[in-house]
Chains A and B, each alone.
Chain A
Amino acid sequence: VIWMTQSPSLLSASTGDRVTISCRMSQGISSYLAWYQQKPGKAPELLIYAASTLQSGVPSRFSGSGSGTDFTLTISCLQSEDFATYYCQQYYSFPWTFGQGTKVEIK
């Protein structure tokens, strides 16, 4: 099983801030990593796949980087609609696993 450590679990930020979320793997996964955004009461939505490829329709203020064991999701200029919970997920090997989530709240 590939274990994932996502940090921080809670991030307080203001509109316009640049924020970064980290995801660290217990073993290398090449670039088989996805990031999701989830708003209360809604299903998650795919933001980024293959560690750095933006899903169609996702604003360019979102970006992903990393490979191997260390990955980062960056929101360059936080907007009001970005306050949500974010999850990383590896699809390198079964069982697929999710990070524990990062809630981005208004400071």
Chain B
Amino acid sequence: QVTLKESGPVLVKPTETLTLTCTVSGFSLSNARMGVSWIRQPPGKALEWLAHIFSNDEKSYSTSLKSRLTISKDTSKSQVVLTMTNMDPVDTATYYCAAALKGFDPWGQGTLVTVSS
């Protein structure tokens, strides 16, 4: 059974860097068929795709957030890490990681990150 779980701070201050970790189980991050994405959802708003990492370490980013995002993986730890620099209150959202093959499935439970001083 494939599962993913996000972890990280619940509160960050403006201008700080956010680091989120997605721990996966049930599949290997070196699996050529599966990749992992990060997606976020501000309260009451739509889903927004942020970044994706493939098994061969190829990466892709949201056009509007590319300068602030870095995605990486540690295959030995079964973890995918997302960093977002220069956090702002508008970045307050639930952040999800999800396995991606044909669409996103499954998703982690999500972690709410609030940006406030």
A contact residues vs B (CB 8 Å cutoff): 1, 34, 36, 38, 43-46, 48-50, 53, 55, 87, 89, 91, 94-101
Contact = CB atoms under 8 A, between A and B. Distances in A.
B100 to A, nearest CB: 7
Interface residues of B, number: 23
Contacts of B47: 36, 38, 44, 87, 89, 98, 101
B27 interface: no
Interface of B: 37, 39, 46-49, 52, 60-63, 96, 98, 100, 102-110
SS class of chain B's interface: helix, strand, loop or mixed? strand
Contacts of A101: 46-47
Contact of A43 (B52, B63, B96): B96
A65 to B, nearest CB: 16
A90 to B, nearest CB: 10
